[in-house]
Amino acid sequence: MNKKVWGGRFREETDALANRFNASIGFDHRLYEYDIKGSMAHCRMLAKQGIISNEDASQILETLGEIKRELDRGEFSFDDAYEDIHGLVEKALVDKIGALGEKLHTGRSRNDQVALDIRLFIRDTIGSVLELIKETQLALVALSEKNFDLMMPGYTHLQRAQPVLLAHHLLAYYEMLKRDRARFNENLKRVNILPLGSAALGGSTFDLDREMVAKELEFDTISENSMDAVSDRDFALEFLFNASLLMMHLSRLSEELVIWSSQEFGFVTISDAFCTGSSIMPQKKNPDLPELIRGKTGRVYGHLISLLTTMKGLPLTYNKDMQEDKEALFDTADTLEICLDVISRLLGEISFNGDRLKEAAEKGFLVATDLADYLVHKGTTFREAHDTVGEIVLFAVDNKKELNDLTIDEMKNFTRQIDEDVYGWLDPASSIKKRNIFGGTGPDMVRKSLNKAKQELNI
């Protein structure tokens, strides 16, 4: 006998290869918790509306709970015969309580059922991601506070540009992650909409109480168009986009850890516990974990492009192409969670070389802009000051000196407006203190930013 839930229309058994190609049970089985949760809410609503009896509902609910416990213990094999997790749960229910189990699907389609399961999955995943982002922010704040007095070169084009506080640099990533949290919270609003009750595409002929199901499943609202509810995945695409942005931020931070831990920079040491070695070179200590985060970013990008491409040409409403959404979602969720977990722990296992950072901030003419600002204070236009300082820098390069190594007479050869007070503008630490503008690297402002971050994180 044909075991398919849709088998009544067909005379022939499905080809074995078609079964294997069509089946999603191999990956969507991880939705079983959400599928059963949704089925229980649907069952209670059917009883409340008098569509099934309270006695039938009680038996169905008790059996669904039993099936969930069996799935929790790993007592089912997820083979192609079940096609998908929805079919497995329904088959298990019917096997246990007979035809009574077939009543559960009343007023429901796999189309709105799977849309519900995915929304529940993404909702839980966003909750986990938000907590993990916070853990990473906490690690950045702790690292900033611990190393508050250290200065370093700020870079543009990977060339030394101006001296900044290390804490200011680290807190830039805090701000990026804060925006990531905001984006996921916004995403949550569009995820937390109940699609159940849309049935296949046109709604149901039964008098379903959708508001009751939404309340039971803690959805903020219900979908307003049944065709849209079963056929769009913009909420999932938004999750993938937000995940891609977050991974981009983690990748940039990872890239800097890789560079900074190299002998060429020597800014940071990563704990042995978060590095690996070489199979042939005994001396090697490789920053493999941040490299993997950097590499896995492309993987998440690929999932976003994959689902965008899948959805772009689909006519309304549901098409089997949409089965391809799940593997992209699952892998993105898993990748995102482990990368956040790793980076937050890794940040607690690094130490900075303050002397090396200071040395780097003192070489490379990082106070050139300060010298130009000094001349502006003396009455020169900025463009004229810029040209003059450029000439002074060129002279210093030719003579293998830093700006603060030049004598007053050497500098006066370029402009008579330079006096002895110029040296107060040529010290990197003084340069940092002078940038005490809101959002700048001045210590007072960075301290305020740090305190604000701690308030936002409730620490």
**pLDDT tens-digit profile of 252-282?**
999 999 999 999 999 999 999 999 999 999 9
pLDDT for position 108: 97
CATH number at residue 283: 1.20.200.10
Helix, coil or strand: residue 193: strand
Helices (H), 201-260: 210-216, 226-231, 234-260
Active site residue 105: no
What is the rounded CA–CA span in Å between residue 404 and residue 396?
10
User: Do 162 and 276 share a domain, yes or no?
Assistant: yes
Chain centre distance of CA 281: 35
| Long-range contacts of the stretch 281-288 (C-beta < 8 A, 24+) | 287/257, 287/258, 287/261
What is the rounded CA–CA span in Å between residue 450 and residue 172?
11
User: Do 373 and 258 share a domain, yes or no?
Assistant: no
- Say if residue 2's pLDDT is above 60: no
Are 217 and 41 in contact by the 8 Å Cβ rule? The answer is yes
Token pair 């370029």 in the structure block, residue? 414
* 209 falls within a domain: yes
Q: What is the pLDDT of residues 321-379, one digit of tens each?
A: 999 999 999 999 999 999 999 999 999 999 999 999 999 999 999 999 999 999 999 99
Phi/psi of residue 154, nearest 5 degrees: -85, 150
pLDDT for position 3: 63
Mean pLDDT for 209-223 is 98
User: Do 256 and 334 share a domain, yes or no?
Assistant: yes
Model confidence at 79, pLDDT cuts 50, 70, 90, reads confident
Residue type, 31: L
Are 383 and 442 in contact by the 8 Å Cβ rule? The answer is no
Helix, coil or strand: residue 156: strand
Going by C-beta distance under 8 Å and a sequence separation of 6 or more, which residues neighbour residue 325?
A: 118, 233, 236, 307, 310
Q: What is the mean pLDDT of the chain?
A: 96
CATH number at residue 30: 1.10.275.10
* 457 falls within a domain: no
Q: How many CA atoms lie within 13 A of 67 on its CB side?
A: 29
Are 300 and 92 in contact by the 8 Å Cβ rule? The answer is no
User: Do 236 and 301 share a domain, yes or no?
Assistant: yes
* 164 falls within a domain: yes
pLDDT for position 186: 98
User: Do 210 and 283 share a domain, yes or no?
Assistant: yes
* Token code pair at residue 227: 């065709």
Residue type, 68: K
- Indicate the residue among 106, 132, 155 that finishes a domain: 106
The boundaries of the domain holding residue 65 are: 16-106
The string of DSSP codes covering 107-170 is T--HHHHHHHHHHHHHHHHHHHHHHHHHHHHHHHHHHHHHTTT-EEEEEETTEEEEEEEHHHHH
Helix, coil or strand: residue 162: strand
pLDDT for position 451: 98
* 11 falls within a domain: no
- pTM of the complete model: 0.94
Chain centre distance of CA 248: 8
* 6 falls within a domain: no
What is the rounded CA–CA span in Å between residue 42 and residue 216?
9
Q: What is the pLDDT of residues 21-76, one digit of tens each?
A: 889 999 999 999 999 999 999 999 999 999 999 999 999 999 999 999 999 999 99
* Token code pair at residue 370: 């300060």
pLDDT for position 6: 66
Check residues 78 and 66 and name the one with the higher pLDDT.
66
What is the rounded CA–CA span in Å between residue 122 and residue 142?
30
pLDDT for position 12: 80
User: Do 212 and 347 share a domain, yes or no?
Assistant: yes
What is the rounded CA–CA span in Å between residue 352 and residue 418?
37
pLDDT for position 11: 78
* 330 falls within a domain: yes
Are 141 and 453 in contact by the 8 Å Cβ rule? The answer is yes
Q: Among 81-85, 204-208, 221-225, 413-417, which is the least confidently predicted range?
A: 81-85
* 456 falls within a domain: no
Token pair 């595409």 in the structure block, residue? 201
User: Do 349 and 229 share a domain, yes or no?
Assistant: yes
Check residues 15 and 348 and name the one with the higher pLDDT.
348
pLDDT for position 1: 39
User: Do 98 and 116 share a domain, yes or no?
Assistant: no
- Indicate the residue among 106, 123, 157 that finishes a domain: 106
Residue 228, number of CB atoms within 10 A of its CB: 15
User: Do 152 and 177 share a domain, yes or no?
Assistant: yes
Residue type, 151: M
User: Do 97 and 121 share a domain, yes or no?
Assistant: no
- Indicate the residue among 357, 389, 416 that finishes a domain: 357
Are 226 and 199 in contact by the 8 Å Cβ rule? The answer is yes
Catalytic residue among 278, 306, 351, 449: 278
Token pair 């772009």 in the structure block, residue? 312
What is the rounded CA–CA span in Å between residue 25 and residue 45?
27
Write the DSSP symbol of residue 350. E
Dihedral sign computed on CA atoms, order 37, 27, 224, 238: positive
CATH number at residue 407: 1.10.40.30
- Say if residue 294's pLDDT is above 70: yes
User: Do 86 and 115 share a domain, yes or no?
Assistant: no
User: Do 265 and 196 share a domain, yes or no?
Assistant: yes
Work out how many domains the chain is built from and give that number: 3
151 forms beta bridges with: 165
pLDDT for position 254: 98
Mean pLDDT for 87-109 is 96
Instruction: For the chain, give the number of residues.
Output: 459
Going by C-beta distance under 8 Å and a sequence separation of 6 or more, which residues neighbour residue 46?
A: 52, 57, 103, 104, 106, 107
The percent of residues in the chain predicted with pLDDT above 70, rounded, is: 99
* 10 falls within a domain: no
Active site residue 157: yes
